[in-house]
Chains A and B, each alone.
Chain A
Amino acid sequence: MLKSEFSEFTFFFIFIDTRYLHNYPVSEQEYKRVVVMQRRKGERRTAKKPVRVGDNKTGTGEVPKNSNKLAKSLDENIRVLKERFSNDGTVVFRRFQNRYLPEIKCCIVFIEGMIDFKHINMQIIEPVMEQDLRQLSSSSQNFLVDIKDKVLPVNDIEESEDLEKILQSICYGNTAFLLDGYDTALLIESKGWEVRAITEPESEKVIRGPREGFTEHIISNISLIRRRIKNPNIKFRFMQLGKQTNTTICITYIEGIALESVLTELERRLNSIDIDGILDSGYIQELIEDAPLSTFPTVGYTERPDVVVARMLEGRIAVIVDGSPFVLTVPHILVENIQVNEDYYDHFIFGSFNRFLRAAASIATISIPAVYLALVTFHQEMIPTQLLITLSASLEGVPLPTSLSLIIMLIVFDILRQAGARMPSAVGQTVNIVGTLVLGQAAVEAHLVSAPVIIVTAISGITTLVVPTLIESIVLLRLFLLILSSFLGLYGYFIGIIMVYLHLMSLRSFGVPYMMSVTRIRDHDGQDAWIRAPWWSMTLRPKIIGAKNLVRQVSNHNRR
């Protein structure tokens, strides 16, 4: 078989193929030359035509193409495809003939591991091989179309002459059906690969609420969304991004609710992406963000279909990326970070209370170390006498100044957090013990740091985890405020807070103010920010984002 012929030699060839050696910059000097050349090319390109994201169309190593079209001859087509798939042992070329009409020569091309064998055997090979095609052949104008329409019992089938499209389709798990004498191929849906089961997402667990989470499989992700909105108004627009990876991404929105201006802008930003590979939605998030230098995310992400649907119902647009369980949503505003799906499933008073806790914790986590430092080292007057005595006792004999020990302990905490996040759970326990015993108790007993510093670090560390989507901003902001506070006390702390506030006020996400509904409680702005208003009173969608179709429900006054 062709397959085995290929696979046996491919691996051998990879190691001795001298072409690779020729193309590879052997010496360091030559390597530098190549890099400089590529950079110059890139510069020239940007100078000519400024593009917002991704300016380097060269250097991604496009394969030169001889011809974009298929030939009439089956052998020629197979030769071309084999050439393009050279050194790839997973591509299978299966030639076969019709049992009644041996002159019908055909070949299917697919990639092992991407397809469903049973499907190919039963729905493609069997009908073409076993059916009596003599009558069909004699009355046929275009035999390939007849095969497509009358022989192959498959749901998704497409004709194509474009070689690039055929290659891409094969790579995506479809099967190409080539017939001798025709310069058109049939692209038959035959995807079938191992996917992870739908489980509850680790990063967003709930006590009450649906347990489904997205997986890496885009189609199953789409079905998770679709199952929640049984309505033809939901739209899924597909596009391919990444020159090497050809990653499928899907823009999802509800027509009539989502803002067209945001949709146009999103498409413009996505179309201007020119990158060789997309491995996670994080790539796209960073490439389309409004303020890429800000640590505050202006594109939201979630692993839960119910959250995506809730956001879509408010007028947001989702971007699903194949291979990533994290679905992006735009526009994204600050309050979304403290909104949790469970708020909406629990009683509204309890939901509001939880939300208040989250907001308070995120403010506390950036403030506690800075305020503690300011009070202890600048404004002792503000500490009650008894507390001052206790603090003084615990600081006695500690060699490091409070500011330095706080900074060190916070960094140590973040190191522990990093270690804990990446560790296998068995080792994670060790990290915990080291963290608590060695760095906590032992350090205090050895008078290396004072006990209040450990307490402050611990409180601040725990409160960080309350708002998981803001961790990166919080960790950096906390250090920033702490350093300001170590120079200027509370004055410095307030300068920092004002700076952060001004920065947040200046942010926009797809034209929507980032601080929307945080600063105003008038009208219906505050219904879903600091509190979660009861469902019967949330008659309107959020402003600006839901402006296209503001009315969510006419009224549910009978509830009151």
Chain B
Amino acid sequence: MRKVVLLPALAFMLLMLTSCWNYREVNDLAIVIGAAIDKGMTENYLLTVELLEVGGGQDTEVTSKALSVEGETVFDAVRKLISIERKRGYWGHIRALIVSEEIAAEDLTQVIRFFRQDAETSGDLHIIISKGCRAEDILHADIPHGTDISTSLAQCLESSRFLSESPSTPLFKLSQELKSLISPTLPVVTLIKLKDMTIPVLSGAAVFHNKKLAGYLDGEETKAMLFLKDEIKGGVLVTRKDPALLSLEILENNTKIKTRNDGKQLALDITVETKAAINEVTCNIEFSDPTVFDEIQRLAEEQLGKKLEDVIDKARSLRADIFGFGQKIYENNPRKWAEISGNYDEEFTNIRVNIDVNVDIVNTSIIYKQFE
């Protein structure tokens, strides 16, 4: 009884007694909503921050501006920012950190260490890799919606679970993955031209191997990767049943990876169990025939299985174990792991993988003989 009362009370206090204590007024802070890091011209890094400008008065007007400053280290640049912006930057609400390709290819951790160590920045910060452009260009691009680029990018990532074409990897998860045996994947942002605007768009994932950028996955490959990592929450499976195309909405997914050790050869059994609903059919299908569902399921399984195999091949070509196969082996078969860990990059390309996909259509939005 006492524990029942004590535990929530302690948990509540633990939550409330965080953060640092020093009195500062909110309006004396320059709220940093996002940042971008590039290679500098004269010094090591070029830090670009996106600051929120809040106009007081009757109608609150929030705008954003991007400022750039160079520094030898990230924190050096952060402090040098004061020479440009009169207020001290407040990093507690930073939503997105954009790291340039250049730095990512060198070593990602050199810049994100600061964000992990600093007292103000929080762990739910989204790390995004800029592809095909400098990171600062992203923050200087046109704002597609809302008041600032960083928030809209972060919101896109947070709602990407209905799309599943970008991995949402906040800082805390990234640092966990960097510590574990999984090669991290980060979302990628590029600039596209839309009418007379240049706007940032999320697409695909950047694959890291040994803290370095190894390659990119496109949207479909990212989705397949998320299937294998059991992180898929939604999205669309487009299935071809000639001549029709069917959109299957993913309702629920459960992926299990088991290691099988028969003799010397190590094998992984991957079972993907997906529940989906038919949301769209591009031309009439005779649904009155009960076998047609079985066929759709079979086709979906085949086509998804193919995608999964493709993404595993792609990861093997990059030598990056983005799915956490190594982690699974270590957990289930530590002896075997001890054997192969020395040469895991090579072993990863050789592990036998059996994929068993099981798509279950639980819900249909079919109309009998739509548009005769």
Q: Which A residues form the contact surface with B (CB < 8 A)?
A: 376-382, 385, 388-398, 401-403, 445, 447, 486-491, 494, 522
* CB-defined A-B contacts under 8 Å, sample of 5: A377-B25, A381-B120, A385-B151, A396-B56, A488-B21
CB distance from B80 to the nearest CB of A (A): 23
Of all chain B residues, which has the CB nearest A522? B1
Instruction: Give every chain A residue within 8 A of B17 (Cβ-Cβ).
Output: 490-491, 494
Is there an interface contact between A376 and B26, defined as CB atoms closer than 8 Å? yes
Is there an interface contact between B23 and A391, defined as CB atoms closer than 8 Å? no
Is there an interface contact between B92 and A397, defined as CB atoms closer than 8 Å? no
B83 contacts chain A at the CB level, 8 A cutoff: no
| Chain A interface main SS type | helix
B11 contacts chain A at the CB level, 8 A cutoff: no
Interface residues on B, range: 20 to 34
A381-B92 in contact given A389-B54, A494-B13 (Cβ < 8 Å):
yes
CB distance from A448 to the nearest CB of B (A): 13
Chain B 11-30: CB-based contact to A (< 8 A → 1; otherwise 0)? 00100111111111111010
Instruction: Give every chain B residue within 8 A of A392 (Cβ-Cβ).
Output: 26-27, 29, 31, 52, 54
Is there an interface contact between A389 and B62, defined as CB atoms closer than 8 Å? yes
**Which of B26, B56, B151 touches A397 (beta carbons < 8 Å)?**
B56
Instruction: Give every chain A residue within 8 A of B31 (Cβ-Cβ).
Output: 385, 388-389, 392
Of all chain B residues, which has the CB nearest A445? B58
Separation of A261 and B152 alpha carbons in the complex (Å): 71
Is there an interface contact between B23 and A381, defined as CB atoms closer than 8 Å? no
Of all chain A residues, which has the CB nearest B21? A489
B33 contacts chain A at the CB level, 8 A cutoff: yes
Of all chain A residues, which has the CB nearest B23? A377
Separation of A354 and B1 alpha carbons in the complex (Å): 26
Given contacts A376-B25, A380-B26, A494-B17, 16 further A-B contacts (CB under 8 A): A377-B24, A380-B24, A380-B93, A381-B122, A385-B31, A388-B31, A392-B26, A393-B56, A393-B57, A395-B25, A395-B26, A396-B55, A397-B57, A447-B56, A489-B19, A494-B13
**Which of B1, B20, B27 touches A396 (beta carbons < 8 Å)?**
B27
A393-B62 in contact given A376-B26, A401-B25, A491-B21 (Cβ < 8 Å):
yes
Separation of A398 and B56 alpha carbons in the complex (Å): 10
B95 contacts chain A at the CB level, 8 A cutoff: yes
Instruction: Give every chain B residue within 8 A of A393 (Cβ-Cβ).
Output: 54-57, 60-62
Separation of A89 and B95 alpha carbons in the complex (Å): 86
Instruction: Give every chain B residue within 8 A of A396 (Cβ-Cβ).
Output: 27, 54-57
A-B CB proximity, top 8 nearest: A396-B56, A393-B60, A395-B27, A381-B92, A379-B19, A393-B54, A392-B54, A385-B93
CB distance from A130 to the nearest CB of B (A): 79
Separation of A393 and B57 alpha carbons in the complex (Å): 7
Instruction: Give every chain B residue within 8 A of A447 (Cβ-Cβ).
Output: 56
Instruction: Give every chain B residue within 8 A of A382 (Cβ-Cβ).
Output: 18-19
B90 contacts chain A at the CB level, 8 A cutoff: yes
A379, A398, A445: which has the most chain B beta carbons within 10 Å?
A: A379
Separation of A507 and B207 alpha carbons in the complex (Å): 64
**Which of B13, B55, B90, B151 touches A380 (beta carbons < 8 Å)?**
B90
Of all chain B residues, which has the CB nearest A397? B56
Separation of A402 and B90 alpha carbons in the complex (Å): 18
Separation of A295 and B17 alpha carbons in the complex (Å): 28
Separation of A425 and B58 alpha carbons in the complex (Å): 34
Separation of A491 and B16 alpha carbons in the complex (Å): 8
